[in-house]
Structure 1
Amino acid sequence: MQHYFAMLARYHLWATEKILDQIATISEEDYRQDRGLFFDSIHGTLNHMLVAELHWYARFTESEPLTLALNAEVEHDRPALDGALRTNVAHERGAMAGLYLWPGGTTVRHTVDVPQAFG
């Protein structure tokens, strides 16, 4: 089961990096424009992704629950938001790889070496 969690964590990091790499090619105007999305703009959607990452990281590390709203703007600066997402996904990857779900739903924490992200 630990290999399954490690695979999911690697995929999540890989997919997030691919999304952020593509978004980096979008103009600032298009990036900030209200597109009628649930979180308005691409920027709003990325902030939502960061809030979700922070909530999941708190769960994986058994930290205090966060009180951030899902539409909170955690980071206004575009490069800082990109960096925060990349950093938090990498941290979450390590935390997620340290989980093992036993049959019956009991979560047990352990240490595991996580292979590099997908290429």
Structure 2
Amino acid sequence: MVELSAPQLDTVFHALGDATRRRMLSELAQGERTVGQLAEPFAISLAAASKHIKTLEGAGLIAREVRGRTHICRLDPGPLASAHQWLGVYQRFWTERLDVLEGLLRQEDGQPASKTTGEKP
């Protein structure tokens, strides 16, 4: 898997920063869609949908193919995989921190013996 450069990651996260574009990607995860099909669930014009699609295309998240007068879009998961890999560093960071916290809480829960014997901690 090729790691994305900082400008490429910026473009991917910018594209993912909009709820409409994220929903379009969710639709494309189910299979190819036309621009009209992608615009349908939203109260937006085809022109507005096309702008969102161009942003997703620019980030490399989708590919568009012209078949006659119909524009067919499909998901390209490569940049998502690279973004996920980048986010994985932070997932490991927080997982390690939460594991330490869990250990401390378990250790604290294991010390109530002083309360049952009447001793003060």
Q: TM-score range by the shorter chain?
A: 0.3 to 0.5
- Whichever of the two has the greater Rg, that structure is 2
TM-score (norm 2): 0.32
TM-score (norm 1): 0.32
Higher-RCO chain (CA-CA 8 Å, sequence separation at least 6) = 1
